[in-house]
Structure 1
Protein backbone atom coordinates (compact mmCIF):
# COMPACT_ATOMS: atom_id res chain seq x y z
CA UNK A 1 0.00 0.00 0.00
CA UNK A 2 2.83 2.37 0.81
CA UNK A 3 4.39 1.66 -2.57
CA UNK A 4 1.16 2.48 -4.40
CA UNK A 5 0.77 5.72 -2.39
CA UNK A 6 4.33 6.78 -3.11
CA UNK A 7 3.89 6.12 -6.82
CA UNK A 8 0.76 8.28 -6.89
CA UNK A 9 2.61 11.12 -5.21
CA UNK A 10 5.48 10.86 -7.68
CA UNK A 11 3.02 10.86 -10.58
CA UNK A 12 1.31 14.00 -9.31
CA UNK A 13 4.66 15.77 -8.89
CA UNK A 14 5.69 14.82 -12.41
CA UNK A 15 2.47 16.29 -13.78
CA UNK A 16 3.01 19.49 -11.82
CA UNK A 17 6.53 19.95 -13.20
CA UNK A 18 5.53 19.10 -16.76
CA UNK A 19 2.49 21.40 -16.82
CA UNK A 20 4.46 24.69 -17.22
CA UNK A 21 6.37 23.17 -20.13
CA UNK A 22 3.14 22.31 -21.90
CA UNK A 23 1.61 25.72 -21.24
CA UNK A 24 4.74 27.59 -22.36
CA UNK A 25 4.57 26.07 -25.82
CA UNK A 26 1.02 27.29 -26.39
CA UNK A 27 0.59 30.31 -28.69
CA UNK A 28 -0.20 33.65 -27.09
CA UNK A 29 -3.05 35.39 -28.87
CA UNK A 30 -2.85 39.22 -28.92
CA UNK A 31 -6.27 40.88 -29.07
CA UNK A 32 -7.03 42.98 -32.12
CA UNK A 33 -7.57 46.03 -29.91
CA UNK A 34 -3.97 45.88 -28.71
CA UNK A 35 -2.63 45.45 -32.23
CA UNK A 36 -4.20 48.75 -33.27
CA UNK A 37 -3.48 50.58 -30.01
CA UNK A 38 -1.55 53.86 -30.13
CA UNK A 39 0.80 54.83 -27.28
CA UNK A 40 1.86 58.38 -26.43
CA UNK A 41 5.45 58.51 -25.21
CA UNK A 42 8.28 61.03 -24.83
CA UNK A 43 10.66 60.69 -27.76
CA UNK A 44 12.91 63.66 -27.03
CA UNK A 45 13.68 66.00 -24.13
CA UNK A 46 15.89 68.94 -23.27
CA UNK A 47 18.22 69.03 -20.28
CA UNK A 48 17.00 70.40 -16.96
CA UNK A 49 16.99 74.19 -16.71
CA UNK A 50 18.91 74.15 -13.41
CA UNK A 51 21.84 72.18 -12.03
CA UNK A 52 20.26 71.72 -8.61
CA UNK A 53 16.82 71.87 -7.10
CA UNK A 54 13.56 72.30 -8.92
CA UNK A 55 13.67 73.08 -12.63
CA UNK A 56 11.84 72.32 -15.83
CA UNK A 57 12.50 70.63 -19.14
CA UNK A 58 10.73 70.42 -22.48
CA UNK A 59 9.59 67.01 -23.68
CA UNK A 60 8.45 66.06 -27.16
CA UNK A 61 5.42 63.78 -26.84
CA UNK A 62 4.40 61.69 -29.86
CA UNK A 63 1.81 59.05 -30.61
CA UNK A 64 3.51 55.82 -31.68
CA UNK A 65 1.56 53.47 -33.93
CA UNK A 66 2.09 49.68 -33.96
CA UNK A 67 4.18 50.14 -37.10
CA UNK A 68 6.50 52.54 -35.26
CA UNK A 69 5.26 55.71 -36.96
CA UNK A 70 5.32 58.99 -35.01
CA UNK A 71 2.37 61.34 -35.30
CA UNK A 72 0.71 64.29 -33.54
CA UNK A 73 3.94 65.33 -31.82
CA UNK A 74 3.76 68.18 -29.32
CA UNK A 75 6.14 69.83 -26.85
CA UNK A 76 5.18 70.10 -23.21
CA UNK A 77 6.86 71.54 -20.12
CA UNK A 78 7.43 69.32 -17.10
CA UNK A 79 9.25 69.46 -13.77
CA UNK A 80 12.73 68.02 -13.35
CA UNK A 81 15.07 67.49 -10.43
CA UNK A 82 18.81 66.81 -10.58
CA UNK A 83 20.03 67.14 -6.99
CA UNK A 84 18.16 68.79 -4.14
CA UNK A 85 21.00 70.50 -2.20
CA UNK A 86 22.12 73.75 -3.84
CA UNK A 87 24.76 75.03 -1.43
CA UNK A 88 25.39 78.52 -0.04
CA UNK A 89 25.04 81.91 -1.73
CA UNK A 90 26.74 85.01 -0.26
CA UNK A 91 25.39 88.58 -0.27
CA UNK A 92 26.73 91.84 1.19
CA UNK A 93 24.18 94.59 1.75
CA UNK A 94 24.64 98.15 3.11
CA UNK A 95 22.46 99.15 6.04
CA UNK A 96 19.16 100.72 5.00
CA UNK A 97 19.16 99.35 1.46
CA UNK A 98 16.23 97.23 0.18
CA UNK A 99 17.12 93.65 -0.56
CA UNK A 100 15.41 90.39 -1.50
CA UNK A 101 16.23 86.80 -2.45
CA UNK A 102 14.15 83.85 -3.61
CA UNK A 103 14.16 80.06 -3.25
CA UNK A 104 13.16 79.61 -6.87
CA UNK A 105 15.15 80.47 -9.95
CA UNK A 106 13.81 83.24 -12.17
CA UNK A 107 12.49 80.82 -14.80
CA UNK A 108 10.51 78.86 -12.19
CA UNK A 109 8.75 81.83 -10.57
CA UNK A 110 5.03 81.54 -11.26
CA UNK A 111 5.30 77.98 -12.61
CA UNK A 112 3.73 75.39 -10.32
CA UNK A 113 4.10 77.47 -7.16
CA UNK A 114 0.82 76.14 -5.80
CA UNK A 115 2.20 72.60 -5.72
CA UNK A 116 5.01 73.44 -3.30
CA UNK A 117 5.47 74.86 0.18
CA UNK A 118 8.44 76.78 1.56
CA UNK A 119 9.99 76.29 4.98
CA UNK A 120 12.45 78.95 6.14
CA UNK A 121 14.92 78.77 9.00
CA UNK A 122 17.45 81.36 10.17
CA UNK A 123 20.86 81.33 11.87
CA UNK A 124 21.23 84.92 13.06
CA UNK A 125 24.64 86.52 12.85
CA UNK A 126 26.29 83.42 11.39
CA UNK A 127 27.34 82.33 7.91
CA UNK A 128 26.98 78.56 8.20
CA UNK A 129 25.39 75.43 6.79
CA UNK A 130 25.26 73.61 10.13
CA UNK A 131 21.57 72.71 10.40
CA UNK A 132 21.74 72.49 14.20
CA UNK A 133 22.18 76.27 14.43
CA UNK A 134 19.02 77.18 12.52
CA UNK A 135 15.75 78.28 14.09
CA UNK A 136 12.32 78.59 12.44
CA UNK A 137 11.72 81.76 10.46
CA UNK A 138 8.08 82.46 9.60
CA UNK A 139 7.72 83.29 5.92
CA UNK A 140 5.23 81.31 3.78
CA UNK A 141 6.42 82.82 0.51
CA UNK A 142 9.33 81.73 -1.66
CA UNK A 143 10.81 85.25 -1.41
CA UNK A 144 12.22 87.17 1.55
CA UNK A 145 12.15 90.96 1.17
CA UNK A 146 13.76 93.65 3.29
CA UNK A 147 12.48 97.17 2.68
CA UNK A 148 15.41 98.50 4.73
CA UNK A 149 18.21 96.15 5.70
CA UNK A 150 19.30 96.14 9.35
CA UNK A 151 22.32 94.66 11.05
CA UNK A 152 20.03 92.25 12.89
CA UNK A 153 19.02 90.80 9.51
CA UNK A 154 22.53 89.46 8.96
CA UNK A 155 22.97 85.71 9.08
CA UNK A 156 22.16 82.61 7.05
CA UNK A 157 18.69 81.85 5.74
CA UNK A 158 17.85 78.28 4.75
CA UNK A 159 14.96 77.51 2.43
CA UNK A 160 13.44 74.06 1.96
CA UNK A 161 11.08 73.59 -0.98
CA UNK A 162 8.62 70.75 -0.31
CA UNK A 163 5.93 69.06 -2.33
CA UNK A 164 2.53 69.64 -0.79
CA UNK A 165 1.29 66.09 -1.39
CA UNK A 166 4.27 64.12 -0.11
CA UNK A 167 6.22 66.76 1.91
CA UNK A 168 9.32 65.60 0.08
CA UNK A 169 12.12 68.19 0.04
CA UNK A 170 13.06 68.88 -3.58
CA UNK A 171 15.40 71.81 -2.94
CA UNK A 172 17.50 73.20 -0.10
CA UNK A 173 19.48 76.39 -0.47
CA UNK A 174 21.33 78.66 1.97
CA UNK A 175 21.61 82.46 1.72
CA UNK A 176 24.46 84.05 3.67
CA UNK A 177 23.68 87.75 4.20
CA UNK A 178 26.16 90.31 5.55
CA UNK A 179 24.79 93.74 6.46
CA UNK A 180 27.47 96.45 6.81
CA UNK A 181 27.28 100.03 8.02
CA UNK A 182 28.33 102.81 5.66
CA UNK A 183 31.23 103.79 7.92
CA UNK A 184 32.60 100.26 7.47
CA UNK A 185 31.80 100.02 3.78
CA UNK A 186 34.29 102.40 2.16
CA UNK A 187 35.57 101.57 -1.30
CA UNK A 188 38.05 104.48 -1.47
CA UNK A 189 41.21 102.40 -1.67
CA UNK A 190 43.69 105.29 -1.71
CA UNK A 191 42.21 106.68 1.48
CA UNK A 192 43.78 103.88 3.52
CA UNK A 193 47.24 103.91 1.89
CA UNK A 194 50.36 105.01 3.73
CA UNK A 195 52.44 107.98 2.53
CA UNK A 196 54.90 105.69 0.74
CA UNK A 197 52.09 103.72 -0.90
CA UNK A 198 50.41 106.92 -2.08
CA UNK A 199 53.72 108.17 -3.51
CA UNK A 200 54.22 104.90 -5.36
CA UNK A 201 50.65 105.02 -6.66
CA UNK A 202 51.14 108.62 -7.87
CA UNK A 203 54.37 107.64 -9.63
CA UNK A 204 52.53 104.82 -11.38
CA UNK A 205 49.83 107.27 -12.47
CA UNK A 206 52.50 109.70 -13.77
CA UNK A 207 54.28 106.90 -15.64
CA UNK A 208 50.99 105.84 -17.13
CA UNK A 209 50.25 109.40 -18.25
CA UNK A 210 53.75 109.76 -19.74
CA UNK A 211 53.48 106.49 -21.58
CA UNK A 212 50.10 107.54 -22.91
CA UNK A 213 51.55 110.90 -24.05
CA UNK A 214 54.46 109.14 -25.75
CA UNK A 215 52.09 106.79 -27.51
CA UNK A 216 50.09 109.77 -28.79
CA UNK A 217 53.27 111.46 -30.06
CA UNK A 218 54.43 108.28 -31.77
CA UNK A 219 51.06 107.96 -33.43
CA UNK A 220 51.24 111.57 -34.63
CA UNK A 221 54.76 111.04 -36.03
CA UNK A 222 53.60 107.90 -37.76
CA UNK A 223 50.66 109.72 -39.34
CA UNK A 224 52.94 112.56 -40.48
CA UNK A 225 55.32 110.03 -42.04
CA UNK A 226 52.43 108.43 -43.88
CA UNK A 227 51.34 111.83 -45.25
CA UNK A 228 54.91 112.64 -46.41
CA UNK A 229 55.16 109.26 -48.12
CA UNK A 230 51.86 109.82 -49.91
CA UNK A 231 53.10 113.27 -51.01
CA UNK A 232 56.30 111.79 -52.46
CA UNK A 233 54.37 109.10 -54.29
CA UNK A 234 52.06 111.72 -55.79
CA UNK A 235 54.92 113.96 -56.95
CA UNK A 236 56.83 111.02 -58.40
CA UNK A 237 53.78 109.78 -60.26
CA UNK A 238 53.27 113.26 -61.75
CA UNK A 239 56.88 113.53 -62.93
CA UNK A 240 56.84 110.07 -64.51
CA UNK A 241 53.55 110.85 -66.21
CA UNK A 242 54.94 114.13 -67.61
CA UNK A 243 58.04 112.41 -69.00
CA UNK A 244 55.97 109.74 -70.69
CA UNK A 245 53.68 112.34 -72.27
CA UNK A 246 56.71 114.32 -73.54
CA UNK A 247 58.26 111.22 -75.11
CA UNK A 248 54.98 110.35 -76.76
CA UNK A 249 54.65 113.86 -78.25
CA UNK A 250 58.21 113.79 -79.61
CA UNK A 251 57.62 110.47 -81.31
CA UNK A 252 54.39 111.77 -82.79
CA UNK A 253 56.12 114.89 -84.23
CA UNK A 254 58.88 112.80 -85.85
CA UNK A 255 56.28 110.56 -87.43
CA UNK A 256 54.36 113.52 -88.88
CA UNK A 257 57.53 115.11 -90.38
CA UNK A 258 58.32 111.95 -92.29
Structure 2
Protein backbone atom coordinates (compact mmCIF):
# COMPACT_ATOMS: atom_id res chain seq x y z
CA UNK A 1 0.00 0.00 0.00
CA UNK A 2 2.84 2.38 0.85
CA UNK A 3 4.52 1.61 -2.47
CA UNK A 4 1.34 2.47 -4.38
CA UNK A 5 1.00 5.79 -2.53
CA UNK A 6 4.63 6.65 -3.32
CA UNK A 7 4.04 6.00 -7.04
CA UNK A 8 0.92 8.18 -7.03
CA UNK A 9 2.78 10.99 -5.24
CA UNK A 10 5.64 10.85 -7.75
CA UNK A 11 3.19 10.99 -10.67
CA UNK A 12 1.47 14.03 -9.12
CA UNK A 13 4.77 15.87 -8.69
CA UNK A 14 5.73 15.18 -12.32
CA UNK A 15 2.41 16.54 -13.60
CA UNK A 16 2.71 19.59 -11.37
CA UNK A 17 6.21 20.34 -12.63
CA UNK A 18 5.17 20.01 -16.28
CA UNK A 19 2.22 22.34 -15.77
CA UNK A 20 4.45 24.95 -14.15
CA UNK A 21 6.76 24.82 -17.19
CA UNK A 22 3.79 25.26 -19.53
CA UNK A 23 2.74 28.37 -17.61
CA UNK A 24 6.26 29.77 -17.67
CA UNK A 25 6.54 29.47 -21.48
CA UNK A 26 3.37 30.71 -23.17
CA UNK A 27 2.62 29.75 -26.75
CA UNK A 28 4.50 31.57 -29.51
CA UNK A 29 3.13 32.44 -32.92
CA UNK A 30 5.02 32.62 -36.23
CA UNK A 31 5.65 36.36 -35.89
CA UNK A 32 7.38 35.86 -32.56
CA UNK A 33 9.52 33.11 -34.05
CA UNK A 34 10.50 35.31 -37.00
CA UNK A 35 11.34 38.17 -34.62
CA UNK A 36 13.64 35.87 -32.65
CA UNK A 37 15.56 35.00 -35.88
CA UNK A 38 14.34 31.42 -35.90
CA UNK A 39 15.69 29.28 -38.74
CA UNK A 40 13.98 26.39 -40.47
CA UNK A 41 15.36 23.62 -42.67
CA UNK A 42 14.64 24.44 -46.31
CA UNK A 43 16.76 21.69 -47.86
CA UNK A 44 18.05 18.35 -46.63
CA UNK A 45 20.09 15.94 -48.75
CA UNK A 46 19.97 12.18 -48.56
CA UNK A 47 22.33 10.33 -46.25
CA UNK A 48 25.81 9.79 -47.69
CA UNK A 49 25.69 6.06 -46.84
CA UNK A 50 22.97 3.49 -47.34
CA UNK A 51 23.79 1.84 -44.01
CA UNK A 52 25.71 2.91 -40.94
CA UNK A 53 26.53 6.47 -39.92
CA UNK A 54 26.68 9.00 -42.72
CA UNK A 55 26.51 12.75 -43.32
CA UNK A 56 23.49 14.77 -44.43
CA UNK A 57 23.77 18.36 -45.71
CA UNK A 58 21.07 20.79 -44.58
CA UNK A 59 20.32 24.43 -45.44
CA UNK A 60 18.68 26.60 -42.77
CA UNK A 61 17.05 29.94 -43.60
CA UNK A 62 15.24 32.54 -41.43
CA UNK A 63 11.57 31.86 -40.89
CA UNK A 64 9.07 34.00 -42.76
CA UNK A 65 11.44 35.11 -45.52
CA UNK A 66 11.74 33.89 -49.07
CA UNK A 67 15.48 33.50 -49.41
CA UNK A 68 17.25 32.09 -52.46
CA UNK A 69 19.61 29.18 -52.09
CA UNK A 70 22.71 31.42 -52.16
CA UNK A 71 21.38 33.99 -49.71
CA UNK A 72 23.93 35.08 -47.06
CA UNK A 73 21.19 34.84 -44.44
CA UNK A 74 20.99 31.07 -44.95
CA UNK A 75 23.54 28.75 -43.42
CA UNK A 76 24.61 25.26 -44.50
CA UNK A 77 25.47 22.59 -41.98
CA UNK A 78 26.34 18.91 -41.98
CA UNK A 79 24.74 16.54 -39.51
CA UNK A 80 25.15 12.84 -38.88
CA UNK A 81 22.45 10.53 -40.20
CA UNK A 82 21.54 6.87 -39.86
CA UNK A 83 19.02 5.40 -42.30
CA UNK A 84 19.60 1.79 -41.25
CA UNK A 85 22.26 -0.08 -39.30
CA UNK A 86 22.04 -3.43 -41.15
CA UNK A 87 24.38 -3.49 -44.16
CA UNK A 88 23.58 -7.01 -45.35
CA UNK A 89 25.96 -9.59 -46.84
CA UNK A 90 28.83 -8.87 -49.23
CA UNK A 91 30.92 -11.66 -50.78
CA UNK A 92 34.49 -11.61 -52.07
CA UNK A 93 36.68 -14.27 -53.71
CA UNK A 94 40.41 -14.28 -52.93
CA UNK A 95 43.35 -16.61 -53.46
CA UNK A 96 45.69 -18.10 -50.91
CA UNK A 97 48.76 -15.99 -50.28
CA UNK A 98 47.06 -12.66 -50.99
CA UNK A 99 46.73 -9.70 -48.63
CA UNK A 100 43.18 -9.04 -47.44
CA UNK A 101 41.88 -6.26 -45.20
CA UNK A 102 38.28 -6.05 -43.93
CA UNK A 103 37.43 -2.53 -42.76
CA UNK A 104 34.31 -2.00 -40.66
CA UNK A 105 34.52 1.78 -40.05
CA UNK A 106 33.86 4.03 -43.02
CA UNK A 107 35.25 7.52 -43.65
CA UNK A 108 32.54 9.27 -41.63
CA UNK A 109 33.17 7.10 -38.60
CA UNK A 110 36.94 7.48 -38.95
CA UNK A 111 36.65 11.28 -38.90
CA UNK A 112 34.78 11.01 -35.60
CA UNK A 113 37.62 8.94 -34.16
CA UNK A 114 38.10 5.20 -33.83
CA UNK A 115 37.66 5.43 -30.05
CA UNK A 116 34.18 6.96 -30.46
CA UNK A 117 32.85 3.49 -31.29
CA UNK A 118 33.05 -0.01 -29.90
CA UNK A 119 33.72 -2.58 -32.63
CA UNK A 120 33.33 -6.34 -32.18
CA UNK A 121 34.01 -9.12 -34.68
CA UNK A 122 32.49 -12.59 -35.05
CA UNK A 123 33.28 -15.31 -37.59
CA UNK A 124 31.51 -18.36 -39.04
CA UNK A 125 34.22 -20.65 -40.42
CA UNK A 126 33.72 -22.41 -43.74
CA UNK A 127 30.21 -21.12 -44.46
CA UNK A 128 28.59 -18.08 -46.09
CA UNK A 129 25.60 -17.19 -43.91
CA UNK A 130 23.84 -14.45 -41.96
CA UNK A 131 22.49 -16.83 -39.32
CA UNK A 132 23.93 -15.56 -36.04
CA UNK A 133 23.86 -19.04 -34.48
CA UNK A 134 26.97 -20.03 -36.45
CA UNK A 135 29.13 -17.10 -35.37
CA UNK A 136 31.79 -17.16 -32.68
CA UNK A 137 33.77 -14.36 -31.11
CA UNK A 138 36.83 -13.34 -33.13
CA UNK A 139 39.58 -11.40 -31.39
CA UNK A 140 41.05 -8.66 -33.58
CA UNK A 141 44.11 -6.66 -32.45
CA UNK A 142 43.20 -3.68 -34.62
CA UNK A 143 39.55 -3.63 -33.42
CA UNK A 144 38.24 -1.72 -36.45
CA UNK A 145 39.69 -3.98 -39.17
CA UNK A 146 40.65 -7.59 -39.85
CA UNK A 147 43.97 -8.14 -41.63
CA UNK A 148 44.68 -11.53 -43.24
CA UNK A 149 48.26 -11.62 -44.48
CA UNK A 150 48.67 -14.05 -46.07
CA UNK A 151 45.21 -15.49 -46.72
CA UNK A 152 44.90 -19.20 -45.90
CA UNK A 153 42.25 -21.70 -46.96
CA UNK A 154 41.00 -22.01 -43.38
CA UNK A 155 40.28 -18.24 -43.37
CA UNK A 156 37.25 -18.77 -45.61
CA UNK A 157 33.85 -18.05 -44.08
CA UNK A 158 31.69 -15.11 -43.02
CA UNK A 159 32.97 -12.25 -40.88
CA UNK A 160 30.49 -10.08 -38.98
CA UNK A 161 31.28 -6.74 -37.40
CA UNK A 162 29.06 -4.81 -34.99
CA UNK A 163 29.58 -1.12 -34.24
CA UNK A 164 28.20 0.58 -31.12
CA UNK A 165 28.43 4.27 -30.30
CA UNK A 166 29.28 5.72 -26.89
CA UNK A 167 25.65 5.27 -25.81
CA UNK A 168 25.89 1.54 -26.67
CA UNK A 169 23.48 2.06 -29.54
CA UNK A 170 24.10 -0.20 -32.53
CA UNK A 171 24.89 1.91 -35.58
CA UNK A 172 26.19 -0.74 -37.99
CA UNK A 173 26.27 -4.48 -38.65
CA UNK A 174 28.10 -5.82 -41.69
CA UNK A 175 28.52 -9.38 -43.03
CA UNK A 176 31.52 -10.11 -45.24
CA UNK A 177 31.62 -13.52 -46.95
CA UNK A 178 35.14 -14.60 -47.96
CA UNK A 179 35.65 -17.41 -50.50
CA UNK A 180 39.24 -18.65 -50.57
CA UNK A 181 40.59 -20.51 -53.61
CA UNK A 182 43.93 -22.19 -53.98
CA UNK A 183 46.48 -20.30 -56.06
CA UNK A 184 46.89 -23.34 -58.36
CA UNK A 185 43.25 -23.50 -59.49
CA UNK A 186 41.88 -21.85 -62.62
CA UNK A 187 40.84 -18.23 -62.40
CA UNK A 188 37.03 -18.13 -62.30
CA UNK A 189 36.87 -14.43 -63.17
CA UNK A 190 35.78 -14.42 -66.83
CA UNK A 191 36.89 -10.85 -67.53
CA UNK A 192 40.39 -11.40 -66.14
CA UNK A 193 40.68 -14.78 -67.87
CA UNK A 194 39.68 -13.26 -71.22
CA UNK A 195 42.25 -10.51 -70.85
CA UNK A 196 44.92 -13.13 -70.11
CA UNK A 197 44.07 -15.03 -73.30
CA UNK A 198 44.18 -11.84 -75.36
CA UNK A 199 47.68 -10.91 -74.20
CA UNK A 200 50.38 -11.40 -76.89
CA UNK A 201 52.64 -14.35 -76.13
CA UNK A 202 56.05 -15.31 -77.51
CA UNK A 203 56.02 -18.39 -79.74
CA UNK A 204 58.48 -20.32 -81.91
CA UNK A 205 56.24 -20.13 -84.99
CA UNK A 206 57.80 -18.21 -87.89
CA UNK A 207 55.35 -16.27 -90.02
CA UNK A 208 56.35 -16.32 -93.74
CA UNK A 209 55.08 -13.56 -95.99
CA UNK A 210 55.07 -13.74 -99.78
CA UNK A 211 55.64 -16.92 -101.87
CA UNK A 212 56.68 -20.00 -99.93
CA UNK A 213 58.37 -21.72 -102.97
CA UNK A 214 60.01 -20.25 -106.09
CA UNK A 215 58.09 -20.25 -109.39
CA UNK A 216 60.48 -22.77 -111.04
CA UNK A 217 59.76 -25.34 -108.35
CA UNK A 218 56.02 -24.86 -108.78
CA UNK A 219 56.37 -25.33 -112.56
CA UNK A 220 58.27 -28.60 -112.10
CA UNK A 221 55.65 -29.90 -109.68
CA UNK A 222 52.92 -29.17 -112.21
CA UNK A 223 54.81 -30.92 -115.05
CA UNK A 224 55.37 -34.02 -112.93
CA UNK A 225 51.84 -34.12 -111.60
CA UNK A 226 50.23 -34.60 -115.04
CA UNK A 227 52.07 -37.84 -116.04
CA UNK A 228 51.68 -39.19 -112.55
CA UNK A 229 47.94 -38.55 -112.62
CA UNK A 230 47.58 -40.17 -116.07
CA UNK A 231 49.56 -43.22 -114.96
CA UNK A 232 47.42 -43.69 -111.85
CA UNK A 233 44.23 -43.25 -113.90
CA UNK A 234 45.46 -45.89 -116.45
CA UNK A 235 46.16 -48.40 -113.68
CA UNK A 236 42.71 -47.88 -112.24
CA UNK A 237 41.11 -48.26 -115.70
CA UNK A 238 43.03 -51.49 -116.41
CA UNK A 239 42.05 -52.86 -113.06
CA UNK A 240 38.38 -52.19 -113.67
CA UNK A 241 38.58 -53.65 -117.20
CA UNK A 242 40.30 -56.81 -115.97
CA UNK A 243 37.73 -57.28 -113.25
CA UNK A 244 34.84 -56.87 -115.71
CA UNK A 245 36.43 -59.29 -118.21
CA UNK A 246 36.99 -61.88 -115.49
CA UNK A 247 33.35 -61.63 -114.40
CA UNK A 248 32.12 -62.12 -117.97
CA UNK A 249 34.37 -65.19 -118.49
CA UNK A 250 33.14 -66.72 -115.28
CA UNK A 251 29.54 -66.17 -116.33
CA UNK A 252 30.17 -67.82 -119.73
CA UNK A 253 31.83 -70.82 -118.08
CA UNK A 254 28.84 -71.27 -115.81
CA UNK A 255 26.47 -71.22 -118.80
CA UNK A 256 28.56 -73.82 -120.68
CA UNK A 257 28.57 -76.13 -117.68
CA UNK A 258 24.82 -75.84 -117.28
CA UNK A 259 24.21 -76.73 -120.94
TM-score norm. by structure 1 comes to: 0.53
- When Rg is computed on C-alpha atoms for both structures, the one with the higher figure is 2
- Residue 45 (str. 1) matches residue 54 (str. 2): no
SS at match of 1:89: strand
1:54–1:104 Cα contact (<8 Å) kept: no
Which residue number in structure 2 is paired with residue 184 of structure 1?
Answer: 185
Q: Does 1:163 align with 2:165?
A: yes
In 2: Cα distance, 1:134 partner to 1:144 partner: 16
141, 144, 158: which one pairs with 2:146? Answer: 144
Gaps of 5+ in 2: 1-25, 191-259
Deviation at 1:148, TM superposition (A): 1.1
Residues 188, 100 of structure 1: CA spacing in aligned structure 2 closer, same or farther, 3 A cutoff? closer
Q: 1:138, CA displacement in angstroms?
A: 1.9
Structure 2 CA distance for aligned equivalents of residues 171 and 29 of structure 1: 40
1:127–1:77 distance in 2 versus 1, CA, 3 Å: same
User: Could you give the per-residue CA deviations for residues 32-89 of structure 1, whole angstroms, max 9, x where no partner exists?
Assistant: 9867312233221111112222221111133x25x44656322222111112211111
- Residue 98 of structure 1 is matched in structure 2 by 99
Match of 1:110 in 2: 110
Deviation at 1:157, TM superposition (A): 0.4
Structure-1 separation of matches of 2:95 and 2:28: 72
Contact kept, 8 Å, 2:97 with 2:183, in 1: the verdict is no
Offset at 1:116? Answer: 2.0
Deviation at 1:145, TM superposition (A): 1.7
Contact preservation (8 Å) 2:90, 2:177: yes
Match of 2:131 in 1: 130
Residue 30 of structure 1 and its aligned partner are, at CA, apart by 6.4
Change in CA separation of 1:154 and 1:188 when aligned onto 2, cut-off 3 Å: closer
**Unmatched 5+ residue regions in structure 1?**
1-27, 190-258
The answer (yes or no) to whether the contact 1:91–1:177 under 8 Å persists in 2 is yes
Residue 182 of structure 1 deviates from its aligned partner by: 1.3
Q: TM-score, normalised by structure 2?
A: 0.53
Deviation string 1:142-164 (CA, Å, 9 cap, x unpaired) is 22222211122111100111111
Tell me how far apart the structure 2 counterparts of residues 188 and 44 of structure 1 sit (CA, whole Å). Answer: 44
Q: How big is the shift at 1:133?
A: 0.8
- Name the residue aligned to 2:59: 60
How far does the alpha carbon of each residue in 1:71-119 deviate from its partner, in whole angstroms, 9 at most, with x for none? 63222221111122111111111111101122234x4352223432211
Aligned-pair Cα RMSD in Å: 2.9
